[in-house]
A and B are shown apart, each in its own frame.
Chain A
């Protein structure tokens, strides 16, 4: 694993020592090269060769998320160039260093084999994210957003620390690879119920679960583009990843503890997607659509069948790429119109036809058009929830319909119709932006050809 971690660390000196006009190019290129190394982990030989050390390992659940993380860094760098073009050089370098630091923490989080180590890194990712949001956000509300972000996730995860210490005390180890063989079924008692809650709430808040999701739209809306991208694409997936890892420890309890959270997720998925129908703010719409998609992942993880785990993993990767792409598109509008309000950026198809094609493809993947991996994820989740209870198909069906509706509503509002006169003199789309969208779409299309590499450990 060091062959990814050390190059990532070395990106920081690269940033600070590059010539002023090379900082973006150098970091993006090397970031891409690092992401190519991470692709090797997608090949899972099934013979413990990926347990690199006592600290790090990778399996077929973490490898796709790892590849997603490393893939996203160059994309974030590409996306932020315009946003930072007016900043002084030191701040640009600082910003890039923050992104690199975040990637470093994320890589280590996804590959940590020790739960306490995982926990520390899980918390450590908050710091660069917080700095990115509160330092480079566009409005004053960013401070409030940062507060919400920090306190929600911190409050949720503190009990996890206590729970982990307790588990370490009676198990003797917190190594993922070992405790899955040592674990005994938890007896049904009040203290164990609290143990379950302590372990799960940290990740539920991160996902986020409906009801604890308020930090997410705020953080997404106020964050600069790279912050929104990484939040939607990777940070939310930490929650799903953690839940899948930790449910092995909590086994018989999940069967009945899951009910309230399933209900909340199923209900919240419809609520949040119907909120999307009334959003006027483009970024907020995409953020709420993330909440609704992540609710599907929560449902899938809590059902705990092989099929649902496959669906959850596939949906996480698919949503990571799709929502990140939608944020990039929203940002390219924002850079031209200087407003996130959808109604100010109507009829862009006439002016930016290629960008309209990207919008169309992004909306279609967001509404899970077959045969994209979004559909595979959603289909598996729907199938597993259908087998859990037939009635959930009604809720899932409503959600599928509303998802299609708001995705196309977003597409039609921004691209179709007559353009308004104040956008006549906007800049044409840059090659950088088109390349950015292509780099988002390419993995989506390629993964549709061979989805089994993102179907997780059960596959």
Chain B
């Protein structure tokens, strides 16, 4: 018996145990969050065994069991694909979730429904595992929709708040638009290749994969919040901070990129889709980086930086380097989850204050959080030898040396520079300078649940990139040699961003805030996109559905053409034809006459 598959299945089964136990008395217990956290950590440790085996021997595996149904000639069975991507991503996701669960025990400790919160987190994690390990598109779709619905439930956790409900609905709606693409791709594969199994899709050739790939790209756009379907991600920050840390930074939102990585064998020879992906990613990364520049809500800034990094991953897929994109997914998970947890720590300490203008000087009162936040930000900007460097630097170098669209490359570089700028802004306003928060707040970050969880991810943010990129050989080889100036570009633009942002912050801090310029308005109003799309589209569609679908067609036309007009004509014609006028004497007379006549005729007939 091979340890490989059995360990992996054990890890997955361990995750389902607390869900099953939730129907017992255990669920009423105060220790339920603790059990969930422990189960996750066990699952992480067990899943490390097959990952180590994979790193050591490069063994990949497919587990097929439980035949679900056969539709004509297409067999659907439950099947897990344990390959490069799932083997690396599963432990990373479990590790991050483990820390976030520990963090939630601290962050959500006063919530009366904390057990349910943990159950939701775990359910989300299971659907994510299903998504990552799925070997056929149907199973992938189960995970895909599952994470969408769990994000709906978790964003709307504080369901009494209107904003949370709106954000939850918005997330589902944008995801659902993406799902249409996924369903189209499924339909196309079923019709043309007669299979949903990944291997069979990849070995079958077809002249034109444009249509299904467009569908998958749409799906990825929805799930990974790319330009056009991006506004849901910053709105999703209405959810609790652990949810933002888990779903909207490290796991769920990368599912779209992961999908494209899964399907890269179809994409690698398709220039059209690659160019589209590249441009889409580049636009997203720049636009969201610009939006991040002027936000004042600390979680919104981190959310926009997530969006920007997702754009960068899409760019990487666009330049045909799926393995690099995957590396960035893994490294990004560590420091972005940690950034969210740090902002959660700050928010919680300052009595739910999220505005960075009302922070300041936190390095004295929250030294550990400050350290972690700075390391996380530096890792995010790609500071050499921190985690982000190993993926981000390679991505920029590959983009620089590849034969790519210069426009897309340029705006990606600008976005990279802006990353440094908004990171500086968080650090400058939240951590440095004089305190601007209320002096009455009692600040204490010395809780082992908080310290340990952040510490674990902190170590990850420093070393994970090195460990991952050195243990696992990338299958597509990035460019190794390049001129000096190209090698230094990534670093140079980042340092440029840092210096400029620092100078700007220092010089403008004391200045009076004049009437904002148009550039500022563009950035702070998120490129006017929500203003236009969230007002115009709902208004027109709701007006159309009310005025034309409901009123005009249903209540007026269809009602008048058939039932009303028929009854009207019946009534008119019956009153016209009928001679019923209420003339009783006449009627009796005619009745008598007929009776007499009939008597006479019948009697004298024969």
Interface residues of A in 248-267 (CB under 8 A from B): none
Least Cβ distance of B22 to chain A in Å?
12
Candidates B172, B187, B542; contact of A404 at CB < 8 Å: B172
- A:363-408 near B, CB below 8 Å: 364, 369-371, 379-380, 382-383, 386-387, 390, 393, 396-397, 400-401, 404-405, 408
Verify B162–A417 contact, CB threshold 8 A.
yes
The docked-state distance in angstroms from the alpha carbon of A277 to that of B541 is 9
A213 and B546 CA atoms in complex are apart in Å by 17
**Could you tell me if B549 and A452 are in contact, using CB atoms closer than 8 angstroms?**
no
* Contact residues in B for A379 (Cβ distance below 8 Å): 183, 186-187
Is there an interface contact between B562 and A214, defined as CB atoms closer than 8 Å? yes
With A and B bound together, what is the CA distance between A369 and B152 in angstroms? Answer: 13
Cα–Cα distance between A418 and B550 once the two chains are bound (Å): 29
What's the minimum C-beta distance from B171 to chain A, rounded to whole angstroms?
Answer: 10
With a cutoff of 8 Å between Cβ atoms, the chain A residues found around residue B187 in the complex are: 379, 382-383, 386-387, 393
Judged by a CB distance under 8 angstroms, whether B211 is at the interface is yes
User: Which of these, B69, B191, B545, B546, contacts A450 with CB under 8 Å?
Assistant: B69
* CA distance in complex: A416, B545 (Å): 24
Judging by beta carbons under 8 Å apart, are B179 and A364 in contact? no
Which A residue's beta carbon lies closest to that of B159? Answer: A416
A349-B142 in contact given A404-B173, A417-B165 (Cβ < 8 Å): no
CA distance A29 to B521 in the complex (A): 68
Query: Quick check: A390 and B160 within 8 Å, CB to CB?
Result: no
A277 and B180 in contact, given A214-B562, A386-B191 (Cβ under 8 angstroms): no
A148 CA / B184 CA spacing, docked (Å): 39
With A274-B545, A404-B172 as contacts: A397 and B554 at CB distance below 8 Å: no
Chain A hits for B172, CB < 8 A: 404, 408
Task: Kindly state the separation between the CA atoms of A409 and B211 in the bound complex, as whole angstroms.
Answer: 32
SS of B interface (majority): helix
Q: Which residues of B in the span 141-164 have a Cβ within 8 Å of any Cβ on A?
A: 141-142, 145-146, 149, 152-153, 156, 159-160, 162
CB distance A275 to B549 under 8 Å?
yes
A278 contacts across to B, CB distance below 8 A? 542, 545-546, 550
With A271-B553, A277-B545 as given contacts, are A306 and B72 in contact (CB-CB < 8 Å)? yes
A182 contacts partner chain B, Cβ-Cβ < 8 Å: no
On whether the beta carbons of B160 and A418 are closer than 8 Å, the reply is yes
A400 and B159 form a contact (CB under 8 A): no
Is B544 engaged at the interface, CB distance under 8 Å to the other chain? Answer: yes
| Chain B residues numbered 63-85 whose CB sits less than 8 Å from any CB in chain A | 69-72
Tell me if B503 counts as interface (CB < 8 A to partner A). Answer: no
- List B contacts of A369 (CB < 8 A): 145-146, 149
Residues of A within 8 A of B179 (CB): 400
Q: What DSSP secondary structure best describes chain A's contact surface?
A: helix
* Interface residues of B, count at CB 8 A: 46
In the bound assembly, the distance between CA atoms of A415 and B159 in angstroms comes to 9
Among B141, B159, B184, B190, the residue within 8 A (CB) of A370 is B141
Residue numbers in B under 8 Å from A274 (CB-CB): 541, 544-545, 549
For chain A, residues 336 to 382, give those with C-beta under 8 angstroms from any C-beta of chain B: 347, 349-350, 360, 364, 369-371, 379-380, 382
The residues in A between 386 and 445 inclusive whose CB is less than 8 angstroms from any CB of B are 386-387, 390, 393, 396-397, 400-401, 404-405, 408-409, 412, 415-418
Report A158 CB to chain B, min CB distance, Å: 14
CB of A307 closer than 8 Å to a CB of B: yes
A418 to B164, CA, bound (A): 12
In the complex, the answer to whether B558 meets A397 with C-beta atoms within 8 Å is no
Contact assessment for A383 and B160 in the assembled complex, using a CB-CB cutoff below 8 Å: no
- Does B176 contact A404, Cβ atoms closer than 8 Å? yes
B180 proximity list for chain A (CB < 8 A) = 393, 396-397, 400-401
Chain A residues lying within 8 Å of B562, measured Cβ to Cβ, are 152, 212, 214
Q: Which of B169, B191, B550, B553 contacts A383 (CB 8 A)?
A: B191
**Chain B residues numbered 544-603 whose CB sits less than 8 Å from any CB in chain A:** 544-546, 549-550, 553-554, 558-559, 562-563
Residues of A near any B CB (own CB < 8 A): 148, 151-152, 211-214, 271-272, 274-275, 277-278, 306-307, 310, 347, 349-350, 360, 364, 369-371, 379-380, 382-383, 386-387, 390, 393, 396-397, 400-401, 404-405, 408-409, 412, 415-418, 450-452, 455, 459
Top 7 closest pairs, chain A to chain B, by CB = A397-B180, A274-B545, A386-B187, A416-B159, A383-B187, A370-B142, A404-B176
Question: Contacts A213-B558, A379-B186, A383-B190 given; 16 further ones with Cβ under 8 A?
Answer: A148-B563, A271-B554, A275-B554, A278-B545, A310-B71, A379-B183, A387-B187, A393-B187, A396-B183, A405-B169, A405-B176, A408-B172, A412-B156, A412-B168, A416-B156, A416-B165
B-to-A contact residues, CB < 8 Å: 69-72, 138, 141-142, 145-146, 149, 152-153, 156, 159-160, 162, 165, 168-169, 172-173, 176-177, 179-180, 183-184, 186-188, 190-191, 211, 541-542, 544-546, 549-550, 553-554, 558-559, 562-563
The 25 sampled A-B contact pairs (Cβ below 8 Å) are A152-B562, A212-B562, A214-B554, A214-B563, A271-B553, A275-B550, A278-B545, A278-B546, A307-B71, A350-B160, A364-B149, A369-B145, A379-B186, A382-B187, A383-B187, A383-B191, A393-B184, A393-B187, A401-B177, A404-B176, A412-B168, A415-B159, A416-B159, A417-B165, A418-B160
